[in-house]
Structure 1
Amino acid sequence: MTIASIEYKEHELRAYSHQEFALHRDPYAKGPRQFSSVVRIGAIQPNEATARRYAMSFATAHPTTAIDAIDLAMQYGKDIVDGKVQANKL
């Protein structure tokens, strides 16, 4: 698993994705591949240990690749830092 990491406005954003299987979490079930992602937002200062994690919720269509899910999670994290989105912590 690759965990992408970037610095954005004095915050460290890390995102990872995982595949969601179709009915009953069966990896052999037929259907499109769908991915979910989580973004972790932490402060860059070493004395601050308040990392927050947020799960991505896809309203329209689920991403079909892990890279797309990570890209969406990073954008979601940037929107949270900018104050554009009010999200609930995990």
Structure 2
Amino acid sequence: MTIPTIEYRGYELRAYSHQVFPLHRDPYAKGPRQFSSIVRIDTIPSSEVKARRYATLFDTVSPTTADDAIELAMQYGKDIIDGKVEATGL
């Protein structure tokens, strides 16, 4: 498994996604597939300060593919670094 990683303005962003199951976490429940994601922001070079992790917040509906969730997490991380978003870490 490869963890998507990019460098952005002196930071390293890593994104993780996982599928969200509706109703009681039942993987066989009917309904659209939905994914959630987390972005991890670390300084380059890595310092002794722990990396910050944030759950991605979606404006409208949740993404329906893991790739979309990763892409949105990377953009969310960039927005955090640029100061466009006030995010609360995990």
TM-score range, shorter chain: over 0.9
**Does the aligned pair in 2 maintain the 1:2–1:16 contact within 8 Å?**
no
Unaligned runs of 5+ in 2: none
Identity fraction in percent: 71
Measure, in 2, the Cα distance between the counterparts of 1:46 and 1:13. 12
**What is the alpha-carbon distance in structure 1 between the residues aligned to residue 47 and residue 38 of structure 2?**
24
Distance change in 2, residues 1:53/1:46 (3 Å) = closer
Match of 1:50 in 2: 50
Q: Cα deviation per residue 1:59-87 (whole Å; 9 max; x = unaligned)? A: 31110000000000000000000000000
- What secondary structure sits across from 1:42 in the alignment? strand
- Distance between the aligned counterparts of 1:50 and 1:87, measured in 2? 16
Over the aligned positions, Cα root-mean-square deviation in angstroms equals 1.2
Matched residue, 1:64: 64
Q: Which runs of 5+ in 1 are unaligned?
A: none
Normalising by structure 2, we get a TM-score of 0.94
The runs of at least 4 aligned residues of structure 1 exceeding 2 Å deviation read: 46-50
The 3-state SS of whatever aligns with 2:17 is: strand
